[in-house]
Each structure stands twice: as C-alpha cells, then as structure tokens.
Amino acid sequence: MSTVRIIPCLDVAEGKVVKGVNFEGLKEVGDPIALAKQYYEDGADELTFLDVAATVNNRDTTYQLATAVAEQVFIPLTIGGGVRSAEDAKRLIASGADKIGVNSAAVARPELITEIADVLGSQAVVVSVDAKRGSTKSGFEVTTHGGKKSTGIDALEWAKKAIDLGSGEILLNSIDADGTKTGFDIEMLTVFRKVSSVPLIASGGGGKPADFVAAAHAGADAVLAASVFHFGLFTIQDVKAEMRAAGIEVR
C-alpha cells in the first residue's frame, strides 16, 4: 500500500468556513486562513477548499483566498467550486492553487475536464463525484449543486469517463454519509476502487480515527474530512497515529 494522504476539507461560503450534514443546514465554523494554517501546522498532507456558494460575485473572494492561503501554507492546495472554464482554472492556479476541483460544470459539459487538463496537466485536475444511492446500473447516482440535484447519471460510469477525459484524481464524496460521522462509505469506496486507475480520495462520514484506517484498507489513496477536524473531535496526528498502528504508511 502506498502512502495515504490526510486532507482536511474546508467548505467556504462568502469567505467563511461552513459545515452541515448531507450538504444541508450549513453553519459558520471559522476563518479559512486561520484554519488552513492550523491544519498545516498539525501535519495535513494537503488542503481542499470548496466554494459551496460559488457565484460570479463570490469568484473574486475565492481568488483572494487562494492567494492568502498559499502565502501561509506550503502543501498542495486544491480549490473547487464555480470553475466553469480553463480560464477560471488558470486564474486559480495563478492565484496560488496547485489543483483544481470540478464537479457540476463538468457534469454539464464533460469536455471541461479535457480543456483544463490540456492547459494545466491531468495532475492538476480533481473531479469531485458527489454520489448517492439510486436506481442506476451501479446503484450509485451522480448529484450536483452540493448534493441537491439528482442527475440520473450512473456515478461509476461517470468516474470512468472523467478519468478518460483527463482527471488526475477522483474525489469520491458519499452524500449519504456526508457529515454523519458514522464512518466512510466503504461499500461505495470498494466499488469505485475497482474501476479507478487514478488516485481515489474518500470523503464523507469520518467520525473516529479508525474510520480513516477502514477507508485506507478499502483502497483510498487519500482520506478527506471536515467537521471532525473543525470541531476538534480529534487531530490529524491522531489519525496518522492510528494508521501507523494499523500498518498503513503515512507522511
């Protein structure tokens, strides 16, 4: 097993970090720059920022955030939310991001993945798949707009297509598990692991350090979490200690 990365995720709306359950009931939990610096000092391997209220008016705030965080934090930074063109992606990279997260806009226009990969390289493209249980062939359906809109698209087939189009990583977020702290969606993760030829990031449901171990054993190359770190239930080092004890290599 290769080294597993631990990635705190900061959902940002109007310049503040927010968190909810199943993508609903978002509440403000802190300042993104202060939290980013704290997680960097705590040993995070990467950071992910998702603008969950991305609008044209909020776009400049996201660019400013990328610059401010990049000045404080010296680990890979992924920023997503509201990216609709290769130009948006290029500007975020120029502002300080290392990778670009895309979701809803890529579902609407899949060629966006290739357009960004052609300009920045596949290693800079992270396609977020917000999946929930549904009546599709694989039993998992793609959702967009923060889990609010069902698409009828088979999530497994979409992940494979995204990789073919140039995605360098898949961020697999279980809408069913999001914010519940009941454990990562091991069933979903196991299914996607079998078809993903690129690194797979598990997201949604982490509630204790042992949950991160289970996700790694199910094939996650990285494990992403938000509320457990935001609210101090345990630290990044607690997770890494649990993983080392289970024989999983971490940085």
pLDDT of residue 39: 96
Within 10 A of 228 (CB to CB), how many other CB atoms are there? 23
Q: What is the pLDDT of residues 158-190, one digit of tens each?
A: 999 999 999 999 999 999 998 889 999 999 999
For residues 215-229, give the mean pLDDT: 96
Q: What is the pLDDT of residues 191-216, one digit of tens each?
A: 999 999 999 999 999 999 999 999 99
For residues 145-164, give the mean pLDDT: 92
Is 130 catalytic? The answer is yes
Domain boundaries, the chain: 5-245
- Global pTM value: 0.93
- Which of 88, 130, 178, 185 is catalytic? The answer is 130
Q: CB burial class (10 A; 0-12, 13-18, 19+) of residue 108?
A: exposed
5-245 has CATH 3.20.20.70 classification: yes
For residues 80-100, give the mean pLDDT: 94
Q: What is the pLDDT of residues 45-87, one digit of tens each?
A: 999 998 877 655 566 668 888 999 999 999 999 999 889 999 9
The closest alpha carbon to 188, from 133, 146, 243, 126, belongs to 133
pLDDT of residue 55: 53
For residues 233-237, give the mean pLDDT: 97
pLDDT of residue 22: 46
The closest alpha carbon to 129, from 189, 78, 72, 88, belongs to 189
Is 176 catalytic? The answer is no
Burial 181-207 (b: 16+ CB within 10 A, else e): bebbbbebbebbbeebebbbbbbbbbb
Q: What DSSP character marks residue 168?
A: S
